[in-house]
Amino acid sequence: MQQQHRCIADCNDAVSTLHYFFDLQIEAVFISIAHCLQKQLFRQRSGGQDPPDDAMEYRIWNQTDHSFRTSLLGYGCMRFPTLPDGRIDETRAEKLLNTARDAGVNYFDTAFPYHNGESEPFVGRVIAKWPRERFYLATKLPLWNCKSLEDAKSIFAQQFERLGVDYIDFYLLHSLHKARYDAAKEMGIVDWLWEQKAAGRIRNFGFSCHDNAAGFEHILRDQPWDFCQLQYNYLDTDDRAEEIAGDRGYALTEELNIPLIIMEPVKGGTLAQLPADAAAPLTALDPKASAASWALRWVASHKNVHVVLSGMSAEDQLTDNLATFGQFRPMSKAENTAIRKTAAILRSRIKIGCTGCRYCMPCPMGVDIPDNFSIWNKLGMFGQKDAVKAQWTTRFPDSEKALHCVRCGKCEAVCPQKLPIRDSLAQLQCELDHL
């Protein structure tokens, strides 16, 4: 009871400070409130125990050097809050980054194309105010912009200028699949980046991957990588999907002892907004835990996961994530069972069992069959009509929509799943057009 009173008093002090120093001290107050809420949530989940001063969970990378440790929660710099014109809301975004840093987050992940090329320069301006030894910086080389080794060298030099640093802690080949990796290797880009590591310009060399397990394994076994980055969450476990390595991909990182960083742990935010029936197995165990916290804890409970990236675009997201990773609790047997039930409910609502293998492509009429099915399945699983409608009407090219299907049957003749593609395309076009 005394501890609860102390926390309440701390919160009241923070509120008083907000009123008195609003213009000058807003950032410090926000940090205080976030910390207070983090402590309250920890006490709720731990039976009233106080968290230690160093509440953030960390992962040690080198058993001989315990100073090399990353926060289990990493800040993904792809989804900063934005202004109405689409530019980064730098005031809010900098407060979010500072709050995360002060709460113990020390891994910050950006990339050359994020926010239309503005993420790296903005992050560079923020970290210029921080002690360089207090954080790890990650960024990525966009190989789709590299037609030669000289292109890669030019972008690499731009990144150092944008970020304002002398070295990059974690440097990645961005969004690899087998063909893109083989092309980069052929151009000499991979060997040249190893040379940059030897010269001390990058400290750890790895890659992010959007390929199936076979493509991922091809890349993973080809180099003595320092780390790799995968999309992984409790729905993306099936390695048959075109761009997902799934459970098999994770197992490969354990087998080869290559540290793993996770992207899309909440599947682009969809696992943070579960339908009531899908969320029921989780809320039965802990009605106070957010849907996002369940997704984050599931992936972070895998022993080879060293960083879980979250693109936190709002203050409440950051506060919730700090609570989740403060004195992190691995998933229990009962919790894993509940997660499997939730995943099963979501999968039962899939409109069509397309795995994204793309054997049906190319369509003679230009229809992107797997992408049409992906949007349709998102509607079925999550019921997020407004989000799906926005994706269908504003971000999905009309030239690739199902309406152009002429029912030639070429797709069905080669579909490994023997799916009724033609009838399904007609049905999804009707459903999505009438959202």
Q: What is the 3-state secondary structure (H, E, C) of 278-313?
A: HHHHHHCCCCCCCHHHHHHHHHHCCCCEEEEEECCC
- Rounded Cα gap, residues 411 and 417, in angstroms: 11
Q: Please state whether 225 falls in left (phi above 0), alpha (psi between -120 and 50) or beta.
A: beta
Preceding amide of 287 cis, omega within 30 = no
Domains in the chain: boundaries = 2-45, 58-343, 369-433
For the cut 80, the answer to whether the pLDDT of residue 158 exceeds it is yes
Measured in degrees and rounded to the nearest 5, phi and psi for residue 176 equal -80, 145
Q: Please state whether 50 falls in left (phi above 0), alpha (psi between -120 and 50) or beta.
A: beta
For the cut 80, the answer to whether the pLDDT of residue 151 exceeds it is yes
pLDDT digits (tens, 9 = 90+) for 184-241: 999 999 999 999 999 999 999 999 999 989 999 999 999 999 999 999 999 999 876 6
Quick one: how far is CA 232 from the chain centroid? 8
Bigger pLDDT: 255 vs 359: 255
pLDDT digits (tens, 9 = 90+) for 93-102: 999 999 999 9
Which whole-number Å values give the CA distances from 326 to 80, 243, 314, in the listed order? 22, 32, 18
Is 421 in a helix, a strand, or coil? helix
- State residue 6's pLDDT score: 42
For the cut 90, the answer to whether the pLDDT of residue 47 exceeds it is no
To 5 degrees, how large is the angle CA 159–CA 164–CA 170? 60
For the cut 60, the answer to whether the pLDDT of residue 82 exceeds it is yes
For the cut 70, the answer to whether the pLDDT of residue 20 exceeds it is no
**Mean pLDDT of the 128-138 span:** 97
**Mean pLDDT of the 9-32 span:** 40
Question: For domain 58-343, which architecture applies?
Answer: Alpha-Beta Barrel (3.20)
On whether the CB atoms of residues 39 and 30 are closer than 8 A, the answer is no
- Rounded Cα gap, residues 228 and 190, in angstroms: 14
